[in-house]
Chain A
């Protein structure tokens, strides 16, 4: 069931808000869409990667001589083939990483820092020979004690992963070697006075396991390093230009030497922003005599060496008055970064309290390296575990105050003028509207009955992003518009961008034909991430539409021998007095003279944040600890929904991933840091039979910072599920589970301890 509520002025749009069939739909449902693993080239070689069997080890020696002698082996590369990249910081579009760490993650240099860390790569005439060659590479390791837990890694006597790492604190580096890469603090008001004014205080500690994005398509890359020095890479990526720039930096090459061709992408969720295989395939190609080389990970490699997002330890303390006003909040959070710095602790800090108006707060966050794969972004990075902690504490406050959780949120919810956790004030936001939408929903108004059943509420926030976008288009003689864009289409953005161009031009969505092209064929586009593409590239499409209209008006005026100001364009037709040309007629006429084309670039900044409130009903089996989800409703401020079906799909997908994170998903390591469940049989993601229909309520509070009121929608929906489920489980069986996942074992332990 879907509800949709536009809360500002009624829509006058003709295209935006409709549900046309997606432009890439036929190729996707017929299996004709081409993914990275489908790439075939003459003389193609196949590569495989040798990975460390140890979580923490110094690499004493690598001997590839026996492997090189194996018939069919064409090239072998190790870190010795990688150039020295120095200490530069590399921007990834969103976020940044030290280049030497990015490079060392691709191929281990002096140390293997996690089980599965790449050590060498082989190219051979077929994949079986490449695998055989891996077994012939001799690596001498000196085993070191692994550090697998964020709190253990922060201890003063913990084994150090990176000898040169010092704690960074807003432009200042610590003096001592450490595993704590960064300390962030948000602070305002008077914390002591805030807690002194509280009638009720709740303080709890939470821990969460390492989880993976779970995209279905494994990482892949095919590269041809041509004999003229030009490099072409076909890959699955959330950002072709970002991938190009990363490859250029780690190989120390000019960006224009490299062309990245983005293939269709079978899911990314943040995990396909960073490069893994691309430089290896390129180096192998060069070393093999300029033959193309394809590398495709298997599922075990994906789980061992890509993704995941951070395990974490979080402590939340909040106080409130008898009337239900929050008086103070204190948060301490430490996130695992994996083998190299860069956990999403900063964004977790942004998420954790942002739905609420809190005058007195202190938040400390720590980015901590441990012997696990380098953490990648994962849909609202760091937000799900953060909200799990805060929303559970808020639920406990509500219980102590005998207050309805939605009324508590209405009393304390942030609105325009209130401040985010990190300080800046909000412009127009729609958080309270999402709370009211749940309050008025059929779900919340229906009493839940039966033993061991419970209902949970939680809210969530994501700040969203703008980023750089570039588009171009030509108006063809038949009146169709060819739109060229560079944003990877993960969730239907070809169509949502085409619709914004169509709306601006006054033509149908199907009159615009979008194509995602390679890095040589369109100017720079930031990654599809941060919920930015429909907002940012959509804005570029709007600007492009204005330019095309202006161009066509000027040329129609030329045709009619009048001034452009005398030509009006509305409802798909150019008019001046009695003269009239439809868009299609004008396209035909004007193309007789010369082509019609334009381009536009944007770097939009006024991305309005998104908020959501979720309601879930569960039944807990007290014998087994299994949680069955009975009903789920997600209300979200989506700004102006460009294509409501895709917005609903984003919400349902985010909720499904959040449920998996909440109830089942986790990395299991043994004491030596070996990943024990590197398969989808043992890494338990939710399947269709685990989930009910996820009902959505689209709350449309247009973003005043976008010409069509667009807000990012993709990330917010993964934030509240874990908190909502924790609260529902408590309501059902009276135990507060403080660890993710809330697996049957965790719930049984909590029940037995009750």
Chain B
């Protein structure tokens, strides 16, 4: 199962869990599994069928622009981090 790191401001929904292992082949599946376990979590990550503006998905340390359809491996590590801008 892939490991999803829970953004710190969403850990009130996961009982404080820093990361959670959930099944799924795509990020969409992971979020659905998380939401089934921790209701309300998907709404904080997803809006209008896509990751919310300002959230960057990283899979195994690399930013991934595929969003919800991004594929993950059973040993993948997934983060949702705030987007930043450069100059």
Q: What residues of chain A have their CB less than 8 Å away from a CB belonging to chain B?
A: 89, 91-92, 94-96, 169-172, 183-188, 213, 268-271, 273, 344, 346-347, 349-350, 376-381, 422-427, 462-466, 529-532, 603, 605-607, 705, 715
Contacts and interface: CB of A to CB of B under 8 A. Distances in A.
B86 interface: yes
A92 B8 contact: no
B11 to A, nearest CB: 8
A92 B85 contact: yes
A188 B77 CA distance: 15
Given A171-B44, A346-B82, A422-B82, A427 B61 contact: yes
A605 B86 contact: no
B61 A463 contact: no
Contacts of B64: 605
Which one of B52, B58, B63, B85 has the greatest number of beta carbons of chain A within 10 Å? B85
A94 B87 CA distance: 9
A462 B86 contact: yes
Given A94-B84, A186-B8, A530-B85, 19 more contacts: A94-B83, A96-B54, A170-B9, A171-B45, A171-B47, A185-B8, A187-B8, A187-B11, A188-B18, A270-B87, A271-B87, A344-B84, A346-B83, A347-B84, A424-B81, A425-B77, A530-B86, A603-B65, A605-B64
A379 B87 CA distance: 4
Contacts of B52: 171
Interface string B45-87: 1010000111100100111110000000000010101111111
Which one of A95, A532, A606 has the greatest number of beta carbons of chain B within 10 Å? A95
B27 to A, nearest CB: 14
Which one of B8, B10, B43, B77 has the greatest number of beta carbons of chain A within 10 Å? B8
Contacts of A705: 62
B82 A184 contact: yes
A270 B9 CA distance: 29
B84 A350 contact: yes
Which one of B45, B47, B86 has the greatest number of beta carbons of chain A within 10 Å? B86
12 contacts: A169-B9, A170-B7, A170-B9, A171-B47, A171-B52, A171-B55, A184-B82, A273-B87, A346-B83, A381-B84, A422-B79, A529-B86
A172 to B, nearest CB: 6
Nearest to B51: A171
A213 B63 CA distance: 28
Given A424-B77, A605-B64, A269 B87 contact: yes
A418 B85 CA distance: 23
Contacts of A606: 62
B58 A270 contact: no
B38 interface: no
Contacts of B82: 170, 184, 346, 349, 422
Contacts of A465: 86
B64 to A, nearest CB: 7
Contacts of B63: 466, 605, 607
A239 B65 CA distance: 20
Interface of B: 5, 7-11, 18, 43-45, 47, 52-55, 58, 61-65, 77, 79, 81-87
Contacts of A607: 63
Contacts of B18: 188
Which one of B10, B54, B55, B79 has the greatest number of beta carbons of chain A within 10 Å? B54
A186 B9 CA distance: 8
Contact of A378 (B47, B61, B77, B87): B87
B87 A213 contact: yes
B53 A96 contact: yes
A187 B65 CA distance: 24
B86 A347 contact: yes
Contact of B86 (A94, A184, A185, A186): A94
Contact of A183 (B9, B45, B85): B9
Contacts of B54: 96
B86 A377 contact: yes
A381 B87 contact: yes
A304 to B, nearest CB: 20
A170 B44 contact: yes
Which one of B10, B61, B77 has the greatest number of beta carbons of chain A within 10 Å? B61
Given A171-B52, A186-B8, A605-B65, A380 B86 contact: yes
Contacts of A96: 53-54, 83
Given A171-B44, A427-B61, A605-B62, A185 B81 contact: no
A142 B55 CA distance: 39
Contact of B87 (A185, A424, A715): A715
A510 B23 CA distance: 53
Contacts of B9: 169-170, 172, 183-185
Nearest to B10: A170
Q: Which 8 A-B pairs have the closest CB atoms?
A: A270-B87, A530-B86, A95-B85, A171-B44, A347-B84, A187-B8, A377-B87, A94-B85
B21 to A, nearest CB: 16
A530 B65 contact: no
B85 A381 contact: yes
Nearest to A213: B87
Nearest to A376: B87
A270 B86 contact: yes
Contacts of B81: 422-424
Nearest to B11: A187
Nearest to A342: B85
Contacts of A462: 86
B86 A172 contact: no
A560 to B, nearest CB: 42
Contacts of A422: 79, 81-82
A269 B86 CA distance: 9
Contacts of B65: 603, 605
A347 B81 CA distance: 11
Contact of A531 (B7, B11, B86): B86
Contact of B53 (A89, A188, A346): A89
A714 to B, nearest CB: 8
Contact of B85 (A213, A347, A425): A347
Contact of A715 (B53, B79, B86): B86
B5 A423 contact: yes
A268 B11 CA distance: 39
B52 to A, nearest CB: 5
Given A171-B43, A183-B9, A425 B61 contact: yes
B76 to A, nearest CB: 12
B87 to A, nearest CB: 2
A222 B75 CA distance: 54
Contacts of A380: 86-87
Contacts of A273: 87
Which one of B5, B11, B61, B84 has the greatest number of beta carbons of chain A within 10 Å? B84
Contacts of B43: 171
A486 to B, nearest CB: 18
B77 A381 contact: no
Contact of B84 (A95, A532, A603, A605): A95
A346 B85 CA distance: 8
A6 B63 CA distance: 27
A424 B79 contact: yes
B51 to A, nearest CB: 10
Contacts of A377: 85-87
